[in-house]
């Protein structure tokens, strides 16, 4: 069961409960890589660490970056990773914002298992953030506004097969990512970017008939228009906290390594 912040209901305090399984949660973005350690209730057991994402960032560079980033963090029993691209059973199918085609077909889950010597689950980063945000009621859509444009669709808390909506046509012959990603924001400015986002929300409402939409990512804070009641801005920390839900089901049982 989740609390009002999109996390599982949790107890007070940050000390690890006796017998609690700690999870290393890593959120990989096109601009930054972030990590923390979570207890079974989604409570952070360590301060978040982060580093700039190398550019370009082939698999071996990313693995080295992660190894260095998480070195100060406590030991954990398992690892959850949100990745900015298409992921299928731990294997990367596409990674548009990491500047290299070397990711295509790369078994990232297997490589991280070799690095950490513990169970690893890898999922799309928007999917992982959405897992922490959704309430499990009806059709819920999560989008992320950052270097690119991410999306995750849910029905009654169940994650749908990942759709790269960001790379689908949106307007003027360009995709959502081309119209709303970081490059577009820098080119057209906040005012025009906000108008584009409003139009995108209308289009996505028709496309998915969502009951609720969650808006995350580093650029969500730039939204200047009034949000409808079924729209909600969510904190970036959910991109890591969602890692708990890779090991849980919607009935609250916890997976074991």
Give pLDDT, residue 253: 46
Q: Are 53 and 39 in contact (CB under 8 A)?
A: no
Question: Between 2.40.110.10, 3.30.420.40, 2.130.10.10, 3.40.50.2300, what CATH number should domain 134-233 receive?
Answer: 3.30.420.40
pLDDT (0 to 100) of residue 8: 44
Cα-atom radius of gyration of the chain, to the nearest Å? Answer: 18
For residue 99, the model assigns a pLDDT of 85
Question: Tens of pLDDT along the chain (257 residues)?
Answer: 354 445 444 333 344 554 579 999 999 999 999 999 999 989 999 999 999 999 999 999 999 999 999 999 999 999 999 999 999 999 999 998 898 899 999 999 999 999 999 999 999 999 999 999 999 999 999 999 999 999 999 999 999 998 889 999 999 999 999 999 999 999 999 999 999 999 999 999 999 999 999 999 999 999 999 999 999 999 999 999 999 999 986 444 455 44
> CA-to-CA distance for 35 and 114, rounded, in angstroms?
18
H or E segment and range at residue 215: strand 212-216
CA–CA distance from 229 to each of 106, 124, 140 (Å)? 41, 27, 13
Neighbours of 30 (CB within 10 A): 23
As given in the structure block, the two tokens for residue 215 are 């808006």
Domain spanning 23-128, CATH class: alpha beta
Q: Write down the pLDDT at residue 61.
A: 97
The stretches of 117-214 forming alpha helices (DSSP H) are 125-133, 176-180, 182-208
Transcribe 65-100 into DSSP letters.
HHHHHHTTSPP-SEEEEEESSEEETTEEEE-TTTT-
Continuous segment of H or E residues that includes residue 144 = strand 139-145
Domain locations in the chain as residue ranges:
23-128, 134-233
Same fold, 23-128 and 134-233: yes
Cα–Cα distance for residue pair 79/20, rounded to 1 Å: 14
């Amino acid at each position: 069961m989740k609390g009002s912040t999109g996390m599982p209901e949790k107890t007070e305090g940050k000390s690890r409960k006796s017998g609690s399984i700690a999870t290393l949660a890593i959120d990989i973005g096109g601009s930054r890589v972030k990590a923390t350690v979570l207890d079974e209730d989604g409570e952070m057991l360590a301060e978040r660490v982060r580093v700039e994402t190398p550019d370009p960032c082939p698999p071996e560079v990313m693995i080295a970056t992660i190894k260095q980033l998480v070195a100060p963090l406590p030991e954990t029993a398992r690892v959850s990773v949100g990745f900015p691209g298409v992921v299928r059973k731990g294997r990367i199918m596409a990674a548009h914002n990491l500047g290299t085609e070397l990711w295509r077909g790369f078994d990232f889950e297997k490589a991280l298992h070799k690095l950490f010597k513990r169970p690893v689950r890898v999922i799309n980063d928007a999917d992982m953030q959405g897992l922490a945000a959704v309430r499990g009621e009806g059709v819920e859509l999560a989008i992320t506004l950052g270097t690119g444009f991410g999306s995750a669709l849910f029905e009654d808390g169940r994650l749908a097969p990942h759709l790269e909506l960001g790379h689908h046509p949106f307007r003027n012959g360009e995709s959502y990512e081309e119209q709303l990603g970081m490059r577009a924001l820098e080119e057209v400015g906040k005012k025009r970017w906000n108008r584009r986002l409003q139009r995108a929300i209308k289009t996505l409402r028709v496309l998915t008939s969502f009951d609720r939409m969650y808006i995350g990512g580093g650029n969500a804070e730039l939204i200047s228009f009034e949000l409808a009641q079924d729209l909600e801005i969510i904190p970036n920390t959910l991109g890591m906290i969602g890692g708990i839900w890779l090991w849980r089901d919607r009935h609250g049982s916890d997976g074991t390594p």
